[in-house]
Structures are given as structure tokens and as C-alpha cells.
Amino acid sequence: KHKKMDDIKKLLSDLHSQAADLRNSATMALWNRWYFEAGKVAESDIRKGEGLLHLQQFEDARLHFKKVVETYPNFAEAHNKLATVFFLLEEYENSVTECKVTLKMNPYHFGAWHGMGLCLFKLARYSEAIESFKSALEIQPYANINRKYIATCMGNLN
């Protein structure tokens, strides 16, 4: 258990490295970890749902990820993917809810912080969006997309 936490801490600190290749491999390693958190079957369920998203079968993807979330209620990545589907369906409130569930289980999920920021941005809740993008940046300081959104949000606040 401690070894696992140490590994995660190392990967999170690598996200702050000036070396792009180290940052990239840490990013991939974290995503991999998140995908496999609930085991192989759950991971293949995630991949299957991503296939549906890739084919833009959003309604099917919604039903699929809802099932995955019911089967594995403590699987953060399943909630994150359901949030993604809601975002693509322009159901931003639902997406924010799923992002919050994801972040409660995995506060280091930069993807969920960024996704929640996007939803809040779409909902014109700019101050909240800024906080969300800032949280994503604290974890992944080189993810400049978050800076761009913060600037856009600031512009919309005036």
C-alpha cells in the first residue's frame, strides 16, 4: 500500500519536471494506473466505452458508462468517463457532478479538474472554472491549455 502511494507521489512530482519526456511518461503512467484501478475487466469496460465515444455513439456510451459506474461505484475513472459523456452531450451540470465524484476518490485527477473547468466555463460560472483550472495546473503545471482557459475566464469576468 505504501509502495503504491510512493509511486504515485513520484509520478505526480515528475509532472513538475522541466524534462518533457519525463512529464509525458508520468502522465501516461498515471492514466494507466487510473484505468487499471478496478482490475482488468473494469479496464476493458472503460476501453469499450471509449470505442463508443470514438464512434460518436454518445447515447450508447452514456448507458455503457452508467452501467460501469453501477458495477464499480468506487472506480474513479468510470465516473470520469461518465463525466466526459455528459460533457459531449452538453449536460454540463451532470458532468460537474461526476467530476466531483471522481475528484473525491482521486484528488490528483488533473483530467477531471480540467473537465470540470470546461463544464463550468460552458455554464458561464467563470470564477469556479478558474479555480478548477488552477487545481489542474497545480498538479500539471505544464498543461498550458488551463492557462489559456483561465485567461479567457478572466476576460469574461470583466
Q: In 3-state terms, what secondary structure has residue 38? A: coil
Question: Which H/E stretch holds residue 120?
Answer: helix 110-122
pTM of this structure: 0.95
Question: Which H/E stretch holds residue 138?
Answer: helix 126-139
Give CA separation, 25 vs 14, 139, 146, in Å: 9, 15, 20
- The identity of residue 28, as a single letter, is M
Report the alpha-carbon angle 54-58-63, nearest 5.
115
Instruction: Give the burial class of 141: count Cβ atoms within 10 A of its Cβ; 0-12 exposed, 13-18 middle, 19 or more buried.
Output: middle
Query: 14 CB contacts (<8 Å, ≥6 apart)?
Result: 22, 23, 25, 26
* Residuewise pLDDT in 10s, the chain (158 residues): 677 778 999 999 999 999 999 999 999 999 999 999 999 999 999 999 999 999 999 999 999 999 999 999 999 999 999 999 999 999 999 999 999 999 999 999 999 999 999 999 999 999 999 999 999 999 999 999 999 999 999 999 97
DSSP state of 158: -
List phi, psi (to 5°) of 75: -95, 100
